[in-house]
């Protein structure tokens, strides 16, 4: 059975993980053959998946830089995935000063690897938790030690909400987090969507089945449905838009929205 030095004992490498599949889309090396096989199957159904992952990372960079420019230096990144390159604390510190970050993920390999990467950094930490339990995140020792909830926080939900079905009460989860944050806090969110793809139904069904076999729900939503997640936040211009169109660093690729099939937005708590 495949085993790597970064994989802690007790991890079953035969079971695919969302975080490790995403790492594969990004060209990372912290994944097992089961993750690669599931990811290849998903890419066969929708070849734009690696571009979608890269577009999400590009948005994350822009959103973090925006938060720092707005004076927000505290970040809670839920569904952070495996720390590889261009992580939140690295982006923020290149832009600003005393930045504090708590990463959150429910994959044990991601948590173990992140702890090794962050060792010795007393301004960052990783928490093993799930978005379905918001209070456990913001009431955690890691958040209590690093994050002052009396001051604005940037809450990052990048490429995670589409793994919560309606039975998971996604709107209520965001509302719980929102209500625990100080005024001036930011929500940065991205979400996969079937919009901009004229023949979405067949590949979406195939991708959903791949993720179902990996133990995850894939809930694709429209731009209007995604916008509803920002209830209680004032949307920052340009609002909820296709991923490449949210404050791009340069002229967006004309094919970007069609290829990337996702929406992004940032909101501010009043």
* Tens of pLDDT, residues 27-58: 888 888 999 999 999 999 888 889 889 999 99
Q: Higher pLDDT residue, 50 or 198?
A: 50
Mean pLDDT of the chain: 88
Mean pLDDT, rounded, for 227-241: 98
- What average pLDDT does the segment 204-228 reach? 89
In sequence order, which residues have a C-beta less than 8 Å from that of residue 222 and are 6 or more positions away?
Answer: 193, 194, 195
Q: Average pLDDT in the 256-268 region?
A: 77
Helix ranges (H only) for the chain are 18-25, 33-45, 49-69, 88-95, 108-118, 134-138, 141-146, 170-179, 201-213, 223-227, 256-260
Q: What is the homologous superfamily of the domain 18-244+251-269 according to CATH?
A: Vaccinia Virus protein VP39 (3.40.50.150)
Rounded Cα distance, 138 and 127, in Å: 10
pLDDT digits (tens, 9 = 90+) for 50-99: 988 999 999 999 999 999 999 999 999 999 998 877 799 999 998 877 89
| Residue 254 predicted with pLDDT over 60 | no
Of 229, 111, 77, which is closest to residue 168 (Cα–Cα)? 229
Please answer whether residues 30 and 23 qualify as being in contact, where contact means their C-beta atoms are separated by less than 8 angstroms: yes
d(CA 152, CA 117): 26
Beta-bridge partner residues of 234: 268
Q: Using CA atoms, how far apart are residues 200 and 210, in angstroms rounded to an integer?
A: 16
> What is d(CA 13, CA 3) in angstroms, rounded to the nearest whole number?
7
By DSSP bridging, strand 262-269 and strand 241-242 are: antiparallel
Quick one: pLDDT at residue 200?
52
Question: Is it the case that residue 196 has pLDDT exceeding 70?
Answer: no
Of residues 177 and 195, which shows the higher confidence score?
177
HSE toward the beta carbon, residue 224, CA cutoff 13 A: 0
């Amino acid at each position: 059975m495949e085993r790597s030095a970064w994989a802690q004992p007790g991890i079953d490498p035969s079971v695919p993980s969302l975080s490790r599949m995403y790492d594969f889309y990004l060209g990372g090396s912290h994944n097992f053959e089961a993750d690669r096989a599931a990811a290849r199957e998903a890419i066969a159904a929708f070849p734009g998946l690696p571009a979608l992952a890269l577009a999400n990372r590009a948005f994350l960079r822009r959103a973090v830089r925006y938060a720092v420019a707005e004076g927000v230096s505290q970040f809670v990144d839920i569904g952070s995935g495996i720390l590889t390159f261009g992580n939140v604390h690295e982006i923020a510190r290149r832009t600003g000063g005393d930045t504090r970050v708590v990463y959150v993920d429910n994959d044990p390999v991601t948590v173990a690897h992140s702890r090794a990467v962050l060792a010795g950094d007393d301004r960052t930490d990783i928490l093993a938790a799930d978005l379905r339990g918001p209070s456990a995140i913001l009431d955690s020792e890691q958040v209590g030690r690093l994050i002052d909830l009396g001051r604005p926080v940037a809450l990052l939900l990048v490429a995670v909400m589409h793994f919560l079905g309606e039975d998971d009460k996604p709107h209520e989860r965001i509302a719980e987090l929102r209500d625990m944050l100080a005024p001036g806090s930011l929500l940065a969110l991205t979400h996969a969507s079937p919009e901009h793809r004229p023949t979405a139904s067949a590949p979406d069904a195939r991708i959903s089945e791949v993720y179902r076999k990996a133990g995850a729900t894939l809930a694709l939503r429209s731009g209007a449905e995604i916008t509803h997640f920002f209830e209680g936040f004032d949307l920052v211009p340009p609002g909820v838009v296709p991923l490449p169109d949210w404050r791009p660093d340069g002229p967006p690729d004309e094919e970007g929205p069609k290829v990337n099939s996702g929406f992004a937005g940032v909101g501010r708590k009043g």
